[in-house]
């Protein structure tokens, strides 16, 4: 599957550092919560925090490495958000099926309501996957524009070593 002239595998490879960080953090967050660790502790394992760090990181890196432009930032952030939402949806589904709340279904993370509902799960499926990609992309585009302006449009040359994570 090609997206903006690049295979999906290129986007996955380019974003693998934060793909792994978000996945591991989300799974640790879920495991701790299911294990009875209080949400006040679990909240320190933040997928949201990592996602916003990734927005800044990839908005700069996409330009500096010559990987692409604004349109290429969208699939990078979409891939990260799919992992983010899949873990959140799994947590909500576990809560619905077992009747036991976890960090993903707790009222403080479900706008004050019961998070063990199908409507909450579907909100992640439809709103989380769209707005959770488009909003970070819009902010990332502003960061990318600033990066391009501040760097004078220069990217690393292909003969320079670009760290790959």
Domain span at residue 25 reads 2-150
Instruction: Identify whether 162 is part of a domain.
Output: no
Widest distance between CA atoms in the chain: 56
**Residue 3, strand partner residues:** 6
pLDDT of residue 160: 45
User: Which pLDDT does position 158 carry in this prediction?
Assistant: 45
d(CA 72, CA 58): 10
Looking at the structure of the chain, the number of domains it has is 1
Q: Does residue 111 form part of some domain? A: yes
44 within some domain: yes
pLDDT at 144: 97
Is 158 a domain residue?
no
Inside any domain, residue 159: no
The β-bridge partners of 2 are 7
pLDDT at 102 over 60: yes
CA pair distance 118, 152, nearest whole angstrom? 49
Higher pLDDT, 113 or 99: 99
Q: What is the DSSP letter of 102?
A: -
pLDDT at 118 exceeding the cut of 90: yes
Whole-number pLDDT of residue 63:
94
Report the DSSP beta bridge partners of residue 6: 3
* Average pLDDT estimate for 87-103: 96
The answer to pTM > 0.85 is: yes
- pLDDT tens track for 120-150: 999 999 999 999 999 999 999 999 999 999 9
Q: What sign results for the dihedral spanned by CA atoms 129, 85, 49, 16?
A: negative
Which pair of tokens denotes residue 101? 């709340």
CA distance 149 to 146: 5
For residue 135, being part of any structural domain is answered with yes
Report yes or no on 133 lying in a domain. yes
Position 165 in a domain? no
Tens of pLDDT, residues 25-66: 999 999 999 999 999 999 999 999 999 999 999 999 999 999
CA 55 to chain centre: 8
Is residue 157 scored above 80 in pLDDT?
Answer: no
Joined together, the tokens standing for residue 22 give 């978000």
Compute the mean pLDDT over every residue in the chain, rounded to the nearest whole number: 93
How large is the average pLDDT for residues 144-160? 75
CA distance 15 to 79: 8
């Amino acid at each position: 599957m090609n997206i903006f002239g690049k295979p999906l595998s290129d986007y996955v490879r380019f974003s693998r550092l934060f793909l792994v960080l978000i996945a591991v953090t989300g799974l640790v967050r879920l495991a701790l919560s299911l294990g009875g660790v209080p949400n006040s502790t679990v909240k320190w394992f933040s997928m949201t925090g990592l996602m916003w760090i990734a927005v800044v990181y990839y908005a700069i890196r996409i330009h500096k490495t010559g990987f692409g432009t604004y349109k290429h930032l969208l699939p990078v952030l979409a891939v990260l958000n799919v992992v983010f939402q899949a873990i959140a949806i799994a947590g909500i589904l576990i809560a619905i099926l077992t009747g036991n709340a976890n960090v993903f279904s707790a009222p403080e993370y479900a706008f004050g309501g019961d998070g063990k509902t199908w409507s909450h799960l579907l909100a992640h499926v439809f709103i989380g996957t769209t707005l959770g990609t488009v909003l970070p992309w819009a902010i990332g585009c502003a960061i990318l524009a600033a990066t391009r302006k501040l760097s004078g449009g220069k990217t690393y040359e292909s003969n320079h070593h670009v760290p790959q994570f």
